[in-house]
Amino acid sequence: SQNVMGSENGHLTVTCYHEGQSVVKWCKFGGQCITGAFGTHGLRNTTVRMSGLKEENTGWYCCSTEDLQMPVHITVDENEINMSPVMAKSVQISPGPRK
C-alpha cells in the first residue's frame, strides 16, 4: 500500500502499476469509482491525479485492475505542505509510459 499526503486545495498524484491490457478503477472505499480504460501490452503504469483537495478526501482508496488491487491511504491536511508531485474537484486518470 501507499501513503500519500496532500494539502487542502492542492493536488497529488498516485501511480498504479499493471500489466498488459487493463481497465483501471480508482475508488474511495465506501464511495464512488472512476474508470479509465487503456489497451497496450507489457508493464504499464497509470497516474491518478486528484486536485482541489479537501480534508474530507482523507481516507482509503483503491487502484484496481482485473488482477491487482493496490490500497492507498490519502491524508489531506489544511497545514500540510504538498509532499507528492490523489474524490476532489477533479480526478484525472492517464496511462503512463511503457517500461
What integer pLDDT is reported at residue 86 of this predicted model?
44
d(CA 91, CA 36): 11
Four-residue CA torsion sign, 33, 36, 42, 47: negative
Q: What is the CATH number of the domain that holds 69?
A: 2.60.40.10
Q: What is the mean pLDDT of each run of 10 residues along the chain (99 residues)?
A: 88 82 85 74 76 92 86 85 46 55
Structural domain for 41, as ranges: 2-95
Q: Alpha-carbon torsion 37, 61, 5, 52, what sign?
A: positive
Contact 67, 25 (CB under 8 A): no
Number of domains present in the structure of the chain: 1
* CB contact at 8 A, 46 and 18: yes
Write down the pLDDT at residue 31. 87
